[in-house]
Amino acid sequence: MNRRSDSDLPRARIAADVGGTFTDVVAFDEVSGVSRYGKTLTTPAHLVEGIINGVHKADSQLSGTRLFLHGTTIGINTLIERTGAKTALLTTKGFRDIYEIGRINRPEAYDLFFQKHLPLIPRELRIEVTERISAGGAELIPLDEQEIVSIAQRLKAMDVEAVAILFLHCYANADHEIRAKRIIEEQCPGMFVTSSHELSQEYREYERTSTVAANAYIGPRVRSYLQEVDERLALEKFPGTFFVVQSSGGLFDVSHAQRECIRMLESGPAAGVIGTQAVCKRLGLADAIAFDMGGTTAKAGVVLDGEVMMAGNIMIGGYTQGLPIQIPLIDIQEVGTGGGSIARIETGGGLRVGPQSAGSSPGPVCYGLGGTEPTVTDANLVLGRLAPDRFLGGDMKLDLEGAKRALQTKIAAPLGMNMLDAANGIILIGATTMSHVVTRVTTERGLDAGDFAMVAYGGAGPLHAGLVARELRIPKVIIPLSPGHFSATGMLMADLRRDFVRTWFTRLDSVDFAAMCKLYDAMEAEGRQALENDVAGSGKISTVRAADLRYAGQEHSVTVELPMQLLAKGDRAGIKKRFDAVHAQRFGFNSPNDPAEIVSLHSSVIGRLEKPVPKPLRRSTKPVKPAHRRKVYFAEHKGFVDTPVYARSDLPAGAKFKGPALVEEYASTTVVFPGDKLEVGKYGDLIITIDRR
């Protein structure tokens, strides 16, 4: 149930980000502007308990909250782990194998052991249906409704839990999908049923099949989880509205999230990129890399010219064997390297870090919860970069001797090397691996990482950001306030959002702008209707228009934002110029004299919510004194160095010092490496200038 907020509700918001290792909660009081933080180990068997524990840790109550904002990895984890529902696919007769055939691409041409993607739905559960719609939307073969009734009975007999419906060219005419879905729902009450036109109205049958199949596959689990959270909120006497973060960085209500589960695959990481955009605005930065390192993975996204870089699809499981998901989302790349990533010796004697993670249970060895395999966190503890008695503000004591034993017996001794060198090697390998995820959102998009600042967050991000920046010659690293809770904080900066895409093949030189704007208006009317109940005043709803364009004869397109003035003037030359520029940036060349064509139209309808307003810190230019000092290992000095350790809460705006140094705060530690310089910004951001010599 979605509880509506009104003017007499408490002026407070709670944001909860459930990760693979930790659950982060931020409670924000809209009146005082004060935020309180809670961080607890994720409870995999019962995720909602971790959320409630975090709320209590933040010294807050759901009963005094107006908005509850939530990001979770349950959808993406269900896909990656292949633990979803028993799912059937209904598709047009003759096309049951499109899901398995895919694009017939072979990314590794000379790999004798290459394996194709493995569909989520086995062939025996892919069922053909008598019907056919033309590419223009005309009915060629009527839908056999009695056949759908018979299929529904078969599905019940096979104990199918979810059904995905994909009919050919439904983006042009969804009537058959709508009728088939209605019949299945009538015949199979309680079954999760989803149709492709609800998720994607673009062409490319394989990608749409994969998208709707994934939505059905994760649907029952995600729907059940969100229902569990909603019911628990009711038990906690929560009076407000429950929103979920989408992969696009926007918020949508829980009822939509339960139907369109695929839209929340990257909800937590997306919120971090939205938070990075807010940091850029307050610091006057145009371009930044969002670098998020948690306990299980490291993620990266990009803010370019002040705007978050978006994508129209992703490959779940990687390019070589992954399954495509065709929805608008923030362009985020991910790698299995986090604080809990396990270090191990592989066959042949090589040292590898990740992608396997100790997670929250049993966790790294130093957590003392039964873990036996050394991790990145254990290495940081041994090197002195984490304090065993001040982890999570002292709430969680770390076992230094246990970490040393694990590193010595599992890594150092087998490799015949010093334990400290082994620990440092784990950190360096992890940093190199994480640098690859940054290049995937920069270099592979035609961008130079060295032209960007890096905003680093997540519990482990500030520990490693300096090394990743050195690897890629990034000149500046910014550690925002409360980096260990930054993705949850980013949810407080998000807006309500609905994204629409319509395939519309048209040559740019002959486009009918009146017809084009009519399509945009129809999408935006649907979006406004979806948001108006949750946004006070229509003036807070705005739209952003874009289009997928390509040169005539090309197969793939690029997305180009279209300012309203270009459309109002019918400026074909202006649109073509913008397309040529985007194509040159992405691929390194363009063809200004070749004709272009529109493939699809995009519209984003955004409902603006009130944002927390940052407050400047007191300013001082006096030298700051460290809270204490301790021995920390730095390879640059070939050993331990007596290192100043600063409490972040003691640092005023304008404070400056050089590395080596540490800055400690609840849920995170920032490492300032030798040669780097740190200055505290106006709003408390740690701005580190990297020594690139």
User: Quick one: DSSP state of residue 651?
Assistant: P
The answer to whether 128 and 98 are in contact (CB under 8 A) is no
pLDDT tier for residue 446 given thresholds of 50, 70 and 90: confident
Q: What is the pLDDT of residue 75?
A: 87
Mean pLDDT of the chain: 90
221 has a pLDDT exceeding 80: yes
Residues 6 or more apart from 347 whose CB is under 8 A from it?
none
Cα–Cα distance measured from residue 222 to residue 258, given in angstroms and rounded to the nearest whole number: 7
Q: Are 148 and 183 within one domain?
A: yes
Predicted pLDDT of residue 287: 95
> Domain with 47 in it: what CATH number?
3.30.420.40
Is 6 a residue whose pLDDT tops 60? no
Q: Tell how far CA 441 is from the center of its chain.
A: 13
DSSP letter (8 states) at residue 613: P
Q: Give Cβ neighbours of residue 577 (< 8 Å, ≥ 6 apart).
A: 592
pLDDT at 4 > cutoff 70: no
Two tokens, residue 215: 């939505």
State how far the Cα of 348 lies from the Cα of 437, in Å rounded to an integer: 26
Residue 457 pLDDT more than 90? yes
Residue 56 within any structural domain of the chain: yes
Q: What is the pLDDT of residue 653?
A: 94
118 with 42, same domain?
Answer: no
Share of the chain above pLDDT 70, in %: 98
Q: Are residues 71 and 133 in the same domain?
A: no
552 and 509 part of one domain: yes
Does residue 240 lie within any of the structural domains?
Answer: yes
Residue 673 clears pLDDT 70, i.e. is over it = yes
- Specify burial of residue 144 (Cβ count, 10 A radius: 0-12, 13-18, 19+): middle
Note whether 67 and 189 are same-domain residues: no
Evaluate whether residue 470 is within a structural domain: no
Does residue 201 share a domain with residue 240? no
Q: Classify burial at 313, counting beta carbons within 10 Å of its beta carbon; exposed 0-12, middle 13-18, buried 19 or more.
A: middle
Least confident of 35-39, 224-228, 471-475: 35-39
Q: How far is the CA of 571 from the CAs of 548, 568, 576, 577, 679, in angstroms?
A: 16, 8, 9, 10, 46
Q: Which of 426, 449, 478 is the last residue of a domain?
A: 426
Supply the CATH number for residue 214's domain: 3.40.50
* 519 and 401 part of one domain: no
Quick check: is 671 in a domain?
A: no
> Is 2 part of any domain?
no
pLDDT in tens, 363-411: 899 999 898 999 999 999 999 999 999 888 888 899 999 999 999 999 9
Which two tokens mark 624? Answer: 């700051």
At 5 the pLDDT is 44
The residue behind tokens 């990075």 is: 276
Q: Please write the tens of the pLDDT for every residue from 515-559.
A: 999 999 999 999 998 888 777 554 588 999 999 999 998 888 999
pLDDT score of 1: 44
Q: Please give the residue that has the higher pLDDT: either 573 or 266.
A: 573
Same domain flag for 212 and 242: no
Q: How many domains does the chain have?
A: 4
Average pLDDT of the residues in 616-630: 90
The phi-psi region of residue 408 (left if phi > 0; otherwise alpha if psi is between -120 and 50; otherwise beta) is alpha
Domain ranges, residue 583 = 497-607
Determine the pLDDT at residue 3.
47
Helix (H) or strand (E) holding 325: strand 323-325
Q: Is the peptide bond before 414 cis (omega within 30 degrees of 0)?
A: no
Q: Is the model's pLDDT at 425 over the cut of 70?
A: yes
443, 653 contact by CB (below 8 A): no
pLDDT in tens, 126-185: 999 999 999 989 999 999 999 999 999 999 999 999 999 999 999 999 999 999 999 999
Q: Are 157 and 189 members of one domain?
A: yes
Element (H, E) at 277: helix 267-283
Same domain, 96 and 48: no
Are 62 and 144 within one domain? Answer: no
Domain annotation covers residue 64: yes
Which of 530, 521, 528, 331 lies closest to 437 in space, CA to CA?
Answer: 331
Nearest to 65 by CA among 234, 227, 223: 234
Q: Is residue 433 part of a domain?
A: no
Q: Say how far apart CA 443 and CA 454 lie, in whole Å.
A: 15
User: 305 in a domain, yes or no?
Assistant: no
Report DSSP state, residue 650.
G
Same domain, 105 and 50: no
Work out the number of other CB atoms within 10 angstroms of the CB of residue 391: 21
Return phi, psi of residue 125, to 5°: -105, 10
Task: Specify the higher pLDDT residue, 285 or 354.
Answer: 285
Instruction: Identify the residue whose tokens are 């973060």.
Output: 245
- Residue 260 pLDDT > 90: yes
Residues 6+ apart with CB under 8 A from 651: 624, 663, 680, 684, 686
pLDDT given for residue 9 in this prediction: 57
pLDDT at 10: 63
pLDDT digits (tens, 9 = 90+) for 263-321: 998 888 899 999 999 999 999 999 999 999 988 888 999 999 999 998 888 888 766 67
